[in-house]
Structure 1
């Protein structure tokens, strides 16, 4: 088995983070893992955190409400508002941290996500571009440990795909 590639770069000039990651699975299975709550809950949060979906409407204009729950039971509530969806090819949306009532917490920046999927033989390549309104927003997310947390979560997705033989 080949070593799965991951590229992570920060473009401070354009307030963007670029992530490109290979998965040893077919695109339909990787797509499902990104778009179905029962699968997202199994990999989205970096360990020892877990993700728990409150509700999910994966459609244009729909929203995914979820919490990342820490080892002591603390909840970090979040939302993703889906904008565009091209099945098994790409989706875009805005994510945000939420308060205890699931309202957007304006103390933190929102991230625009552009996520694209394409098949490369027996592998799927996922390319993610995250865009921020201003450089200070990008820097805040990086300082909060986004690179480390997202890298761990993508590793969890590798495990999920392998465990369920979703190739």
Structure 2
């Protein structure tokens, strides 16, 4: 399992997940840069993602939905704020309605994903910062840790299929 640590801090409103992958940093980066690959790992296995718009360019709005086992769709969006390929990217992440429009009443997190490589192993640190402790707690109660962990753990399967 690639996820090696999960922490959440109600004082700083952060959720941080750390994972390690037996692959070069550039290969892990490519998973996030390519919408079709990202769809294979964004969202837990029970809720696969479909990216409608995806481009890792600052200012771009990316939209997607996850489909549950019963066919119900759950929308989301990213606003890309910074990119330093293949080292990191930053984005605001929020919930969307059925037409993929942002839902103002739901939490938005400011995310920074960083990738560092040492001896052929890539360490990914995924940090999301919320506006307040209530927003962080809301996503924790929704199962964010379990969902994100199971989603990230799918990366190993994707990489293993290439070996």
TM-score for both structures, normalised by structure 2: 0.96
Equivalent pair of 1:44/1:157 in contact (CA under 8 Å) = no
Look up the match of 1:75: 73
Deviation digits for residues 48-99 of structure 1, max 9, x if unmatched? 2111111112201112211100111110011111000001011111011101
Q: Which ranges of structure 1 fall in alignment gaps of 5 or more residues?
A: none
Show the 5 A alignment for 1:96-111: 96-111=94-109
CA distance in 2, matches of 1:45, 1:22: 18
CA distance in 2, matches of 1:60, 1:133: 21
Equivalent pairs counted in the alignment come to 163
Q: 2:110 aligns with which of 105, 109, 112?
A: 112
CA distance in 2, matches of 1:148, 1:67: 18
TM-score for both structures, normalised by structure 1: 0.94
Look up the match of 2:119: 121
CA distance in 1, matches of 2:13, 2:116: 25
CA distance in 2, matches of 1:35, 1:8: 24
Look up the match of 1:40: 38
Look up the match of 1:135: 133
State the superposition RMSD in angstroms: 1.2
Look up the match of 1:13: 11
CA distance in 1, matches of 2:132, 2:60: 26
Matched residue SS, 2:93: strand
Deviation digits for residues 99-126 of structure 1, max 9, x if unmatched? 1222111121001101110001111000
- CA 1:4–1:65 in 2, change beyond 3 Å: closer, same or farther? closer
